[in-house]
Every structure is written in C-alpha cells, then in structure tokens.
Amino acid sequence: MAYIIVADRYAPLTTESRVYGYVVQLAPEVSGPIIDVAIGNNQHVEKGQLLFTINNSKYTLAVNKAKVALQQAYEQEKSLYAQVEAAIANTASSNANYNNATAEYQRISKLAKNNLVSTSMRDSAYANYQAARSTLHAYKQQTLAIKAKLGESGGDSSLVMAAKNNLAQAALDLSHTQVFAPNKGVITNLQLEVGAMATANQPMLTFIPIDSLWVAADFREKATALISKTSAAYVTYDALPGQVFNFTVASRDFGVAAAQQTASGQLTSVEVSNRWVRDAQRIRVNLSSEQAIPEQLFVGSRATVVLYPVDNVWWKTLASMQINLAGLLHYVY
C-alpha cells in the first residue's frame, strides 16, 4: 500500500489513455454531380492524390465564356485608347478656339470702352469666350475620365482587370472540380458514390492525417504534480501486448470541461456529493515521440501509460517493471 501511494506520485500509471488524432472533414469548393471516386474506404493516400471528381462541364463553359469576355474587354480598351486620342485632338482644337475667343473678347472690350463698337457686340464676344472656355473644360474632363478607365498602361483598364479576375475565378472553380488529399493520411467511413451531388463547403469525406496522431493519458491530478521537463513515459498498447514504447511529456492540459465557466447571467451551480471520499479529478497529459505511431493502431486505440523522472534511475526502473507487466497482461485482456 505504501508503495502504491508513493509510486502514484513519482511513477504514476494509468489505463485511461488513447491514441488521438485530428479528424478532417474534406469538402469540395464547388457544387455538382460526382462522376468518379478514386479511392476506397480506409485507404491510405498520399499528399496530392486524387480523391474524387465533380462534373466540370459547366465550369469549362464558364472558363470559355470568361475568355471571350476578356477578349471583348481588350477590344473595348482599344476603343478607349481611340477615344482618348480623339479627346486630346478635340481638346487641342478647343484650346485654339478658346485662345481666339479670349483675344477677340479682349479686343472688343477695349473698343467698347472707347464707344467704337456696340454693347451687343461686346456681349456677343463675351458669350463666345464663355462657350469656348466651357467646351475646353469639358474636353479636358472627358480626356481625364477616359484615361482613368485605361489605367497606367495597356491591359490595366478596369474593363480588362475585371475580365481577368473573372477568368481567374472561373479557372479556379474548374480546378476545384478535382479534390485531392491535403496530406498523407487515411480516408475512413467512406460514404461517397458516383452520381451523388456534391455541395460546395459541405463535408463529403472523413480524412485522418497519419502524422497528426499522438497519445494522451488521463491521470489523477496529484499524479501530475511532479511532472517537469525531465519527465518521460513508457507506453504499451492494448493492440500490441508485450511491446513498450518510449515517449516524452509534451504538455499537460490547463483545465477540464467540468470547471469551464460561461457567462449566462445565472447564479453559481454548486457541486454536491454525498460520498465520504469524492472521486479524484483527472487531468490530461499529452505525450510525443520521435517515432511514428505503429500502423496497426487507429484513432481511439487504448493504451497504458506510466510516467517517470528521467534523472532518477530507481523510479525509471520501477516504471519499466510496471509497464512491462501491464504489457504482458494485455495478452489476457
């Protein structure tokens, strides 16, 4: 009994341990009927391997339509360049008319001061001057407006840029009709058949990256009080009886769900227990290893874990004895 009490502090053992891994729900980015499923259930796949294909007919048409629209945009851009040239010519002509009208108005004004011409002639010259100035201003603004649409150089017009973006989006949608594996892993619980309708952003496959697997063990909180950077772990799996694997302690969780608080505007909920000795709180310890998780295992595989201080030969030896005994017992249960 004394050994169990002390060992639970320095070399704690738990059977509440599992293999964990990230479960990724793969969803297409476009919609359409599925015309090919390239993988089988529980199949190992490599990064970039084709998983399934969506009918790309309408997306191919969208690309062709976008290409035509881009060509039309280039043609419209050429038309804008021609309009700029015309506007510049009109501006030059209007500028000449404006200069003539200004000079004429100034000459008539001097004559009018000496009563050499009629007031109506002066008013007419002023009206011509105002009209010439307005026309010149209008052509200048027209030139600026067209240049603004064209951008700084050829192909930079808003028309062409918008058409290029539409073509890029159409090409991207077309590429998304083929869905590939994001990483090395396993496709599991496959329920996909040819003819099924894929919906954008709706999960279609369950994917588990092999490199994401790790072991986590739940210990009584007093058993984790002495965990430090020098702590390590021995692990034996139920599926691999008699085999022991070396791990290091990666981290310890900083909380449990039972103590999570959410602002609700309600009064405190007090935990009530009629037991004389309450159940010990458990906390999760995450383990890591330079070696990959054995391929015979899966997400959810059970394991037995014992922690020990690396710098203490005595407890390391006792931990090794405990885990080897547990590993042998896995032949039975």
Express each pLDDT in 226-263 by its tens digit. Answer: 888 788 999 999 999 999 999 999 998 888 877 777 77
Strand partners for 17: 217, 303
Report DSSP state, residue 256.
Answer: -
- 2-21+213-259+279-329 CATH, one of 3.40.640.10, 3.40.190.10, 1.10.3720.10, 2.40.30.170: 2.40.30.170
Separation of alpha carbons 151 and 160, rounded Å: 10
pLDDT-above-70 percentage for the chain? 85
Express each pLDDT in 19-77 by its tens digit. Answer: 999 999 999 999 999 999 999 999 999 999 999 999 999 999 999 999 999 888 887 77
pLDDT at 235: 95
Q: How confident is the model at residue 101 (pLDDT cuts 50, 70, 90)?
A: low
pLDDT at 1: 64
Q: How confident is the model at residue 80 (pLDDT cuts 50, 70, 90)?
A: low
Burial of 263 (0-12, 13-18, 19+ CB in 10 A): exposed
- In the β-sheet with 50-54, what is the strand arrangement from edge to edge? 178-180, 50-54, 32-37, 197-198
Contact criterion met (CB below 8 Å) for 250 and 214: yes
Please name the CATH architecture into which domain 24-55+177-208 falls: Beta Barrel (2.40)
User: Over 90: is that where the pLDDT of 130 sits?
Assistant: no
Q: Domain residues of the chain, as ranges? A: 2-21+213-259+279-329, 24-55+177-208, 58-173
Q: Which residue has the higher pLDDT, 235 or 267?
A: 235
CA distances (Å), 323 to each of 128, 134, 305, 316, 320, in order? 106, 96, 7, 11, 5
Q: How confident is the model at residue 180 (pLDDT cuts 50, 70, 90)?
A: very high
Residue with tokens 């103590």: 259
Considering the chain, what is the average pLDDT of its residues?
84
List CB contacts of 310: < 8 A, sequence separation 6 or more: 230, 231, 232, 316
User: Over 90: is that where the pLDDT of 207 sits?
Assistant: yes
Burial of 104 (0-12, 13-18, 19+ CB in 10 A): middle
Cα 281 to the chain's mean position, in Å?
A: 37
pLDDT at 116: 67
Contact criterion met (CB below 8 Å) for 146 and 87: yes
**Which amino acid, one-letter code, is at 290?**
E
Express each pLDDT in 104-129 by its tens digit. Answer: 667 767 766 766 666 677 667 667 76
* Nearest by Cα to 44 from 214, 180, 213, 207: 207
List CB contacts of 180: < 8 A, sequence separation 6 or more: 48, 49, 50, 51
Supply the CATH classification number for the domain 58-173.
Answer: 1.20.120
Separation of alpha carbons 137 and 205, rounded Å: 64
CA distances (Å), 87 to each of 90, 93, 246, in order? 5, 10, 80
In the Cβ-directed half-sphere of 73, how many Cα atoms lie within 13 Å?
A: 22
Contact criterion met (CB below 8 Å) for 12 and 220: yes
Query: Residue 208: phi, psi to the nearest 5?
Result: -120, 110
Report DSSP state, residue 100.
Answer: H
